[in-house]
Amino acid sequence: FNRKNGHVLSPDFRFSYSNQGFLDEEKAVPFRLTRNIEEFIGAQLMKGIFKPALSSAASAICANGQNLQPALQLLTRDDIVSWYLSKSAQRDGTQRSTQDLERHLSDRVKKNVYLVQNRLRECAPRVSSDITSKTPMDDSVEKLILMATKPDNLVSMPLSFCPWL
């Protein structure tokens, strides 16, 4: 929040896009889980129920993915149109130009929806068909949490990731 006027600073609540308009997959941190958020959650919950809760939520969302897809399409479409207009000189607000722009960006919207759904699938527990496997079902979530909390990864993020801003 901006202390002078109370406006919400939006970089924390928006997707991050590459130059081509696709979700930025090259970040070292998969989601924001800084030290202050870890401290807020608490050590017992971080080591206890946080990982299974994250896995369960992702699993429930993936199980009902067909119901979520229209909402994801709307969210990504609105966000990418806003992103595109902020990066280009085309600011004509007519309905015709907006429809043309939406058609032009439709492949990006589809790919971004696919990427969001893929990220959710990464968090969902996987049952291995190999009976001898000793890998836990939620191993992928553990790796994502480790990536999100690793200090070397956190220092590579923009300043807006820092807790004191």
Q: What is the pLDDT, as a whole number, of residue 2? A: 67
Phi, psi of 48 (to 5 degrees): -105, -90
Instruction: Indicate the burial class of 67 (C-beta count within 10 angstroms; 0-12, 13-18, 19 or more).
Output: exposed
State the pLDDT confidence band at 14, using cuts at 50, 70 and 90: low
Average pLDDT for the chain: 78
State the pLDDT confidence band at 156, using cuts at 50, 70 and 90: confident
Above pLDDT 90, what percent of the chain?
A: 3
Q: What is the pLDDT of residues 56-103, one digit of tens each?
A: 888 888 888 788 888 888 888 888 888 787 777 655 555 557 777 778
Q: Mean pLDDT, to the nearest integer, of 133-161?
A: 81
Q: What is the pLDDT, as a whole number, of residue 44? A: 92
State the pLDDT confidence band at 165, using cuts at 50, 70 and 90: very low
Q: What distance in Å separates the CA atoms of residue 90 and residue 32, rounded to the nearest whole number?
A: 33
Question: In this structure, are residues 112 and 22 in contact, taking their beta carbons and an 8 Å threshold?
Answer: yes
Single-letter amino acid code for the residue at 64: N
Question: Does position 126 have pLDDT exceeding 70, yes or no?
Answer: yes
Q: What is the pLDDT of residues 31-52, one digit of tens each?
A: 888 888 888 899 999 889 998 8
